[in-house]
Amino acid sequence: MLFNFLFSLKQEVVIEGQDKVFKDVIEPLENVSVTVFPTNKEDIRDLGSPQEVAAALIKKVLAPPSQKTKLLTAAEHDVDGKAYYTFEFVAQAPNFTRHALSTIVIANGKFYTLTTGANERRWGKMKDKLNTVVDSFKIFNV
């Protein structure tokens, strides 16, 4: 996958509830994860607007309840007839702030979430690479 080459010292780690997670061994907040859940929905728009869905996912799934979060942007785009929602957010813990990007889509009876991010202090250096990861995420019909 594309994100393999972006993290020079990457390591696959097992995290309960995540299908695949890769973390940088030196900068563990630089990571990428993919999660897949079955769904009876056929389109991401069935769940609400990009802003509504992003806010709910950030609050309930993508950040611990103890962290203060802020949705920065949320947008919809179409790839090969499928609607994707892409959003950017920050999650603030007592000792760090994580800047993250996610993209979500529904296809093949599944809800797909890809999330990547970095420590806020390294965001300027990493954002273009992480945007490339998010922009490259595509689901094909099977």
Q: What is the pLDDT of residues 1-35, one digit of tens each?
A: 444 444 444 555 455 555 555 555 556 667 888 88
Residue 40 lies in a domain: yes
Residue 53 lies in a domain: yes
Residue 93 lies in a domain: yes
Residue 99 lies in a domain: yes
Residue 48 lies in a domain: yes
In this prediction, residue 33 carries a pLDDT of 86
Residue 86 lies in a domain: yes
Q: What total number of domains does the chain contain?
A: 1
Domain of 130? 3-136
Cβ–Cβ under 8 Å, residues 29 and 120: no
In this prediction, residue 5 carries a pLDDT of 43
Q: What six digits make up the tokens of 46?
A: 């069935």
| Whole-structure pTM value | 0.83
Q: What six digits make up the tokens of 41?
A: 């929905």
What CATH number is attached to the domain comprising 25?
3.40.1000.10
Q: pLDDT tens, 70-104? A: 999 999 999 999 999 999 999 999 999 999 999 99
74-89: buried (b, 16+ CB within 10 Å) or exposed (e) per residue?
Answer: beeeeeeebbbbbbbb
Range with the largest mean pLDDT of 12-21, 34-43, 45-54: 45-54
- With tokens 């979430």, the residue in question is 113
- Lowest-confidence pick of 2-16, 25-39, 53-67, 125-139: 2-16
Residue 44 lies in a domain: yes
